[in-house]
Amino acid sequence: MNRSRLLIILLALAAAGLFFWLDLGRYLTLESLKANHQELLAYYEEHALLMIWAFMLVYIVQTALALPGATIMALSAGAVFGPWWGTLYAVSAATVGAVLSFLVSRYLLREAALRRFGGRLDLLNTELDLRGLNYLLFLRLVPLFPFFLINLAAGVTRLRLSAFALGTAVGIIPGGFVYVNAGASLASISALNDIVSLRVLGSFTLLGGFALIPALYSKFRST
């Protein structure tokens, strides 16, 4: 392993270790957000630009390293910035964080995956070359697949970076808006489980199914 790869791994481990050592997760809870809501709003009124950039930086790091607190970050976006701007900031930051994970996976893990699985990845890569955006939209829209694992798995394939970034940005908008909009009505939330109902999950699954239709149709036509 060359020095640059080792440095990336050490930096990621150091950042994650620092997060847990300082117990920063205690700030990423619903109770903490509610307790500090007014202070956050007051700070945003006085230092709007700094607040926006700080929020996005924290969200990017959280997403890239798969640290706990993604739901609270989305709620915070709505609670501080409102549903529309909050969705824009949250989706943008989460997309950048996902792209960083994707790039690190491609740089660190792809060669090992190719050596391990060899030709067994060829069929998958061919399919992703043709219809990768549709498959990624499905994975992003249906909230049953771990976000971070999708980033890592996509990185070891031949999926284009542009398709990954676009599929991620578009695919996480519906789910992101649900949480950000809920954060805009923070006082009405008593538990995180109250935010997403089975009906909403069903709607996301249906959207994911629609995203797959072009890929399935194209695949059927080609057989």
Distance in Å from the first CA to the final CA of the chain:
43
Token output for 119: 């030709």
Q: Distance between CA 223 and CA 218 in Å, rounded? A: 9
Total-model pTM? 0.86
Backbone dihedral region for residue 82 (phi beyond 0: left; psi -120 to 50: alpha; all else: beta)? left
Q: For 1-35, write each residue's pLDDT tens digit.
A: 577 777 888 888 888 898 888 888 888 898 999 99
Q: Kindly report the number of other CB atoms within 10 A of residue 162's CB atom.
A: 9
89-93, 117-121, 151-155, 189-193: least confident range: 117-121
Lowest-pLDDT range, 26-35, 96-105, 135-144? Answer: 135-144
Q: Which whole number is the average pLDDT over 140-152?
A: 85
pLDDT at 7: 82
pLDDT, greater one: 116 or 108 = 108
What pLDDT does 162 receive? 93
> How big is the chain by its Cα radius of gyration, in Å?
19
Lowest model confidence (mean pLDDT) among 31-35, 88-92, 107-111 = 107-111
| Per-residue pLDDT band at 83 (split at 50, 70, 90) | very high
Our measurement of the distance from residue 32's CA atom to the centroid of its chain's CA atoms, rounded to an integer in Å, reads 22
The residue among 219 and 180 whose pLDDT is bigger is 180
- The tens digit of pLDDT for each residue in 31-68 reads 999 999 999 999 999 999 999 999 999 999 999 999 99
Q: Which residue has the higher pLDDT, 27 or 193?
A: 27
d(CA 10, CA 143): 30
**Percentage with pLDDT > 70 across the chain:** 82
Rounded-to-integer distance, Cα 140 and Cα 167, Å? 8
pLDDT on residue 46: 95
* Reported confidence tier of residue 208, pLDDT bands at 50, 70, 90: low
Residue 217 predicted with pLDDT over 60: no
- Residues making up the chain, counted from first to last: 223
